[in-house]
Amino acid sequence: MAGASRGLSWDGESPRPSKTITTTAVLGMLAAMILSPSAAFASDDMSTDVIVRETAPETDAAERLISTLGGTVGEQLDVIGGFAATVPTDKLAGLAGHPAVEAVTPDATVTLLDNPFGRNSEPVAHDLTLTRLVQTVGADVFWAQGHTGKGVDVALIDSGVVAVDGLLRSEVGGPKVINGPDLSFESQSDKFRWLDTYGHGTHMAGIIAGHDNAAAAQPSKSSETSFNGIAPNARILSVKVASHDGAVDVSQVIAAIDWVVQHKNDNGMNVRVLNLSFGTDSTQSYVLDPLAHAAEQAWRAGIVVVVAAGNDGNWAQLRNPARNPNLIAVGASNPIGTLTLADDYVASFSNCEHNARTVDVLAPGVSIVSLRNPGSYADSGYPSGQVGTRFFKGTGTSQATAVVSGAAALILSKFPDATPQQVKDLLMTTAYTSARGKAASCYGAGSIDLSQAARLTQLSRTFDNQTWSTGTGSLEASRGSDHLTHNGRILAGEYDIFGMPFDAAQWANLASRRAAWSDGYWNGSPWTGVSWSGVSWSGVSWSGVSWSGVSWSGVSWSGVSWSDKAWEGGSWSGVSWSGVSWSGVSWSGGSWSGIRWR
């Protein structure tokens, strides 16, 4: 999974040692996630560094076993229900076969020290608070005209959203966040269903549409005393697909996109924007790729689809589905903390092109301050990202994508009849064209400039002129190098997460007719009773969990894993997985385009 390793990096203050999570924990889990199933344990001639997940309920039996085998116990990793350890290499078989041990994975932290793109040295002159971000991209000019995203719903396919101030109530008094189905591996947990245990989705939601309760209903300018995202009066439709470590299969993301397309106008919703800060390193043509085709179907259904270019470096090709030219591919700029676009340049981690396909626009993506998710994976693992008690900063094309999604919502609140292509053209034709030091493929039309876009009083009639996709290619190729594995077994081939055969032609036909979901089944796979506990979308699950009074900071992750409540007996609510259960420790944030929290 070398491709995934390029999507993960971190710099700044080392995480504080604690029982919850430590430097060893974060690097160890991430390193385990990027090893291929066939990779050997990293070791010298005598010992091996490993991550040990304990069988629930946890006792000290596994730790005692390590000592008996002549090894040493390292940091406790409560987030995965285990610990780090060093074990004599010839005793590994005895460790893996013990009843107190659920799984043993390599702790190959050295793989994360390879940093060929200089991402850790990306200069930051000033944390970009949303106040400064709003001014930098000119969103407050739209606000002054009375266009704040009201009436526009932005679908966020991500890791869920939690109820923190800034994401509690919409301008009209209803919920700010609407929960769609939870398609993640945490959907079976009463504690974690819909909630953002990873921390990524909450950060994106804040950038797109955050709005403090104390802020004015109709903000007209940016203020340091209240929190506002780019489109503060837009709403978020959260469709959770990723669990606490970012684990998700491409089939889940495709199913989520299909669901959004079919339900975009249910129960008073008006989904006009889809934020997808996700991408794989597939090299399959977008014309054939199922993920690219699913995203394109949303575009053709009138939804502006905004996707991240990726965080592999300027030399790297765009990730999938950003390489589909019928979407908006977003690269990250470094605004170096100033309010002018003139000195911005392409961030060193931002992917640049795929054959003739380049990014469309840039948006700020370095040290963007948004809402903090206390107790989440990111918050616990990267305390250097914390800004006070409420906020958290992140860097990556994820953040840049969220900025552009918010910008699209502003444009649609001003021009409600605009097509996705008209929104894209407006962003590109009004962009600030200077982007220092890089080839044109790295910055596309330039940095979005909403102060210029706001000057238009009408939109030109535009037409999509790219080749439409067919989606009849390979699901396996769509995954690229990113796979779910458990104990050396891998989810691969033309099978979805239920182990059901994936017929691309059959699915593409259903998706094009907006019929991929039917009676709780997606493309023939039985999701009934899985993601929303058998409750009809038109019923209770519309409002999801009650956001008032939900406390996240004190929730323990201990014992919550794919093999726990959600995966009893290798099955999911009675749906056979062909005897295979997936732990999630081998695939993670490499394809979620938020490269670090700093």
Q: Which of 113, 138, 168 is the last residue before a domain boundary? A: 113
Which whole-number Å values give the CA distances from 239 to 24, 522, 578, 583, in the listed order? 31, 15, 27, 21
Q: How confident is the model at residue 485 (pLDDT cuts 50, 70, 90)?
A: low
pTM over 0.85: no
Please give the positions annotated as active site.
Answer: 158, 200, 398
Tell me the C-alpha distance between 589 and 593, whole Å. Answer: 7
Please indicate, yes or no, whether residues 148 and 101 belong to a single structural domain of this protein: no
pLDDT of residue 20: 26
What are the two backbone dihedrals, phi and then psi, of residue 239, each rounded to the nearest 5 degrees?
A: -115, 105
| Domain with 217 in it | 119-468
Please indicate, yes or no, whether residues 32 and 134 belong to a single structural domain of this protein: no
Q: Which of 414, 439, 468 is the last residue before a domain boundary? A: 468
pLDDT at 411 over 90: yes
Work out the mean pLDDT of the chain and round it to a whole number: 75
Please indicate, yes or no, whether residues 96 and 227 belong to a single structural domain of this protein: no
pLDDT of residue 353: 76
Mean pLDDT of 319-328: 95
> Which tokens go with 345?
């340049």
Mean pLDDT of 179-207: 88
CATH number of the structural domain spanning residue 191: 3.40.50.200
Please indicate, yes or no, whether residues 106 and 126 belong to a single structural domain of this protein: no
pLDDT of residue 78: 55
CATH number of the structural domain spanning residue 98: 3.30.70.80
Q: How confident is the model at residue 438 (pLDDT cuts 50, 70, 90)?
A: low
pLDDT of residue 27: 25
Residue 541, in any domain of the structure? no
Please indicate, yes or no, whether residues 60 and 151 belong to a single structural domain of this protein: no
Please indicate, yes or no, whether residues 9 and 133 belong to a single structural domain of this protein: no
Residue 426, in any domain of the structure? yes
Please indicate, yes or no, whether residues 41 and 21 belong to a single structural domain of this protein: yes
pLDDT at 262 over 90: yes
Residue 524, in any domain of the structure? no
pLDDT greater at residue 115 or residue 154: 154
Residue 496, in any domain of the structure? no
Mean pLDDT of 343-348: 88
Tell me the C-alpha distance between 362 and 316, whole Å. Answer: 16
Length of the chain: 598
> Which tokens go with 435?
């982007």
Task: Count Cβ neighbours within 10 Å for each residue of 558-596 and write b for 16 or more, e otherwise.
Answer: bebbbbbbbbeeeebbebebeeebbbbbbbbbbbbbbbb
Q: How many domains are there within the chain?
A: 2
pLDDT of residue 593: 65
Residue 256, in any domain of the structure? yes
Residue 520, in any domain of the structure? no
pLDDT of residue 291: 97
Summarize pLDDT for 365-402 with one digit per residue, the tens.
998 999 999 888 888 888 888 998 899 999 999 999 99
Percent of the chain past pLDDT 90, that is, above it, reads 39
Tell me the C-alpha distance between 76 and 79, whole Å. Answer: 9
Q: Which of 70, 98, 113 is the last residue before a domain boundary? A: 113
pLDDT at 157 over 80: yes
Please indicate, yes or no, whether residues 281 and 395 belong to a single structural domain of this protein: yes
Residue 489, in any domain of the structure? no
Tell me the C-alpha distance between 49 and 72, whole Å. Answer: 10
Of the ranges 279-288, 400-409, 561-570, which one carries the lowest mean pLDDT score? 561-570
Tell me the C-alpha distance between 285 and 67, whole Å. Answer: 52
pLDDT greater at residue 64 or residue 529: 64
Please indicate, yes or no, whether residues 62 and 96 belong to a single structural domain of this protein: yes
pLDDT of residue 137: 94
pLDDT greater at residue 201 or residue 100: 201
pLDDT of residue 226: 77
Residue 204, in any domain of the structure? yes
Of the ranges 111-115, 234-238, 274-278, 532-536, which one carries the lowest mean pLDDT score? 111-115
Please indicate, yes or no, whether residues 383 and 449 belong to a single structural domain of this protein: yes
Which of these, 25, 4, 2, 107, lies nearest to 380 by C-alpha position?
Answer: 25
Q: At what angle do helices 290-300 and 504-512 cross, to 10 degrees?
A: 10
Q: How confident is the model at residue 523 (pLDDT cuts 50, 70, 90)?
A: confident
pLDDT at 357 over 50: yes
pLDDT at 86 over 90: no
Summarize pLDDT for 275-306 with one digit per residue, the tens.
999 999 998 999 999 999 999 999 999 999 99
Please indicate, yes or no, whether residues 104 and 182 belong to a single structural domain of this protein: no
Please indicate, yes or no, whether residues 260 and 362 belong to a single structural domain of this protein: yes
453 burial via Cβ count (<10 Å: 0-12, 13-18, 19+): buried
